[in-house]
Amino acid sequence: MKLGFLTPYSEEIVQFAGDDPNFECLEFSGPPAEWVGDTDEAHVARESALKLLNANGLGISSFLTNWLSIRTPSAELSAYLDHFSKVFDVCRAMGDNVVLAGAGPMGYDPSIGLEDNVARYKEVYTPIGNLAEEKGVLIGFENWPGGGGPFSDGGNLSVTPEAWGLMFDAVPSKAIGLEFDPSHLIWQGIDSFEAFEEFSDRVNILHAKDTEIFEERLKRVGVFRRGGWWRYRLPGFADFNWPQFFALVHEHGFDGSVVIEHEDAVFSGNRRLEGFTRCGIYLSNCILD
């Protein structure tokens, strides 16, 4: 397993990660627009980035992207497929194991049932899965529920193990899997260990983020109170058992990338890079080679 973190691309951040012996890869937001396409400019931009990454001993684990809504009309799919074809080409150009990841597929409609939303997903994402297979690229849906909470209007479909099972049955393409993030399961009361064990063969990349639960607040406000009784933390600064989790991950033969997603308010502002450094040290001692 290779350890890295999610970040926008810049020369400074690549050098920072390269100077830290705990990091071997990075997940970039994007990919940057200047890397996309078959133009001379795009080729030069990609080659320049690869040269910088190689000089710093780093690879690209993944690109975080926006996925199309399951409400996308069929008449618009062709344009989206053209876009994703170009993005998939960037993934292949930047490394053999680059995953195209991100929260999604969005567009959940709470006026209909989960199964009917999955039916919409099947219509929209069957050609996406086929294209990913054709291009030799893996997809990882992050299980972030969306700003309104689980199964809210316009939110993410891939939120719970129940939904994952229905989705993988509907679109069985092995190119489609998960960017598995325990933090979003913790505050929903879902067992991350059982979820990983059930779907380990569909986990294409791991997001390392924890959730701190304020039990006294929860007792008073209840689980339907949006916010205020939990917050995201870096691994090592909350209660999730990361050593035990990575033991399970190792037992199931996962050998992909582990990406720190930094949304920890304690290490914000001028302490942000410190957060990456401290979390990198902690996780390096949890991950089994």
Residue-wise pLDDT tens digits, 91-123: 999 998 999 999 999 999 999 999 999 999 999
Residue 253 inside a domain? The answer is yes
Task: Provide the pLDDT for residue 289.
Answer: 81
Task: Provide the pLDDT for residue 133.
Answer: 97
Average pLDDT along the chain: 97
The mean pLDDT of 250-259, rounded to a whole number, is: 97
Residue 249 inside a domain? The answer is yes
Task: Provide the pLDDT for residue 187.
Answer: 96
Q: How confident is the model at residue 261 (pLDDT cuts 50, 70, 90)?
A: very high
Residue 32 inside a domain? The answer is yes
CB-based burial of residue 28 (10 Å sphere; 0-12 exposed, 13-18 middle, 19+ buried)?
buried
Residue 216 belongs to domain spanning: 2-284
State the CATH number of the domain containing residue 50.
3.20.20.150
**Is the separation of the CB atoms in 141 and 179 below 8 Å?**
yes
Look at residue 6 and give its three-state secondary structure.
strand
Q: Determine the Cα–Cα distance for residues 140 and 160; give it in Å rounded to an integer.
A: 14
Block residue for tokens 């410190």: 274
Residue 289 inside a domain? The answer is no
Degrees (nearest 5) of the Cα angle 81, 87, 90? Answer: 145
Structure tokens at 143: 């299980």
Residue 239 inside a domain? The answer is yes
Structure tokens at 215: 């039990």
Q: Count the domains in the chain.
A: 1
**Is the separation of the CB atoms in 138 and 132 below 8 Å?**
yes
The mean pLDDT of 196-211, rounded to a whole number, is: 98
